[in-house]
Copies of this chain bind each other. A is one copy, B any other.
Amino acid sequence: MRGMLVIISGPSGSGKGTIVNDLDYALSVSVTTRKPRENEQHGIDYFFCTEEEFVAMRDNNELLEHAVYVGQYYGTPRKYVEDKIEQGEVVVLEIEVNGALQVKEKFPEAVLLFIIPPTLNDLAHRLAFRNTEDPLEIQERMERALQEIQLIDKYDYLIINEDLPTAVNEIDIIVKAEYLKPHRSQSRIEKFTLER
């Protein structure tokens, strides 16, 4: 059976990274023009490529989304995602809101999940606890979270991250329910109509 693409977004401090690492699914591998770091492997951490290669992929519509970050290109290769899905795998792509909506446009069967902590206050606490952002940055991230949640109706599901096992279980439930959608059941509908 065909797998599916699950896109996970959420504010910084929502805990989405921890959740994604705990899921039992394949992760999407991005293509990038930045240089590999010491322990990064091509095809596992990233597909590393030149700027010409990246631009060619982009112009050939081989990327589901792309963006520039600190002067380097990043993108999601369509073929990698398609191949995994053909092999029956659930592929997870963790990406911010704009990238998620780009992917949904090019790949409408993608399932979009948005993860938030129970309250904005929790978000501030988690960010403060990480100790990597100063108070002004925390304030900015809270404002951004409030802007992003306005786009929630573009998403298929909302996960309130009360605790890790519950959130992971809810994503498993969503995947199981999505497999029961008619448009993912073509082969079973054919079996029903043809076997007699």
Asked if B177 and A160 make an inter-chain contact with CB atoms under 8 angstroms apart, the answer reads no
Q: Which residues of B contact A120 (CB under 8 A)?
A: 192-193, 195-196
Which B residues lie within 8 Å of A192 (CB)? 116-120, 149, 160
Interface presence of A71 (CB below 8 A): no
* Cβ proximity bits A179-196 to B, threshold 8 Å, 1 near / 0 not: 011110100110111011
**Contact call B182/A152, Cβ cutoff below 8 A:** yes
Q: Which of A40-48, A78-86, A101-109, A168-176 contacts B (4 or more CB under 8 A)?
A: A168-176
Residues of B within 8 A of A118 (CB): 188, 191-192, 195
User: In chain A between 9 and 39, which residues have their CB closer than 8 angstroms to a CB of chain B?
Assistant: none
In the assembled complex, which residues on chain B have CB atoms less than 8 Å from the CB atom of A121? 195-196
The smallest beta-carbon distance between A127 and chain B, in angstroms, is 13
- Contact call A183/B119, Cβ cutoff below 8 A: no
Please judge, given known A-B contacts A158-B180, A174-B180, A185-B158, whether A193 and B153 are in contact too, CB under 8 Å.
Answer: no
Chain B residues with CB under 8 Å of A193's CB are: 120, 146, 149
Chain B: minimal CB distance from A154 (Å): 9
- Chain B residues whose C-beta falls within 8 Å of the C-beta of A149 in the assembled complex: 189, 192-193
Give the distance in Å from the alpha carbon of A182 to the alpha carbon of B150 in the complex.
11
Task: Say yes or no: A181 contacts B158, CB within 8 Å.
Answer: yes
A157: interface (CB < 8 Å)? yes
Cβ–Cβ < 8 Å partners of A159 in chain B: 180
Asked if A124 lies at the interface with its beta carbon under 8 angstroms from chain B, I say: yes
A180 to chain B, nearest CB (A): 5
Residues of A within 8 A of B (CB): 114, 116-121, 124, 142, 146, 149, 152-153, 155-160, 170, 173-174, 176-178, 180-183, 185, 188-189, 191-193, 195-196
